[in-house]
């Protein structure tokens, strides 16, 4: 997850697994990608890197920017 932390104004790349409870406190998610096998295996089999590359090609950065601006206002 790419998150924005309003206290220090920094962006964080946060990894969360099924055992993690919640996000970085007070952080706002800007972009989230699911990289567990259930998310990509049917279409990509064991080609996780290709899945991530294709995901990156489909991010609507204007929406991410809107989220960032709203979180940092």
29 located within any domain: yes
Q: What is the pLDDT of residue 15?
A: 83
User: What distance in Å separates the CA atoms of residue 29 and residue 67, rounded to the nearest whole number?
Assistant: 8
Q: Is residue 24 part of a domain?
A: yes
Both tokens of residue 14? 């946060």
Assess contact for 24 and 2: CB atoms under 8 A: no
Domain count along the chain: 1
Asked whether the beta carbons of 13 and 1 are under 8 A apart, the reply is yes
Q: Pick from 27, 6, 60, 62: which is nearest to 16 by CA?
A: 27
pTM of the model: 0.78
Residue 73 inside a domain? The answer is no
pLDDT tens for 11-58 read: 999 887 765 665 567 889 999 998 888 999 999 999 999 999 999 999
Lookup result for tokens 């295996």: 41
Q: Tell me the residue range of the domain where 26 lies.
A: 2-67
User: What confidence score (pLDDT) does residue 43 get?
Assistant: 94
- Tokens representing 35 are 């990289």
Q: What is the CATH number of the domain that holds 12?
A: 3.55.40.20
């Amino acid at each position: 997850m790419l998150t924005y932390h309003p206290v220090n104004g920094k962006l964080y790349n946060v990894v969360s697994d099924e055992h993690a409870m919640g996000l970085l406190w007070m952080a706002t998610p800007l972009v989230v990608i699911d990289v567990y096998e259930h998310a990509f295996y049917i279409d990509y089999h064991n080609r996780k890197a290709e899945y991530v590359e294709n995901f990156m090609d489909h991010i609507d950065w204007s929406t991410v920017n809107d989220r960032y601006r709203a979180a940092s206002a």
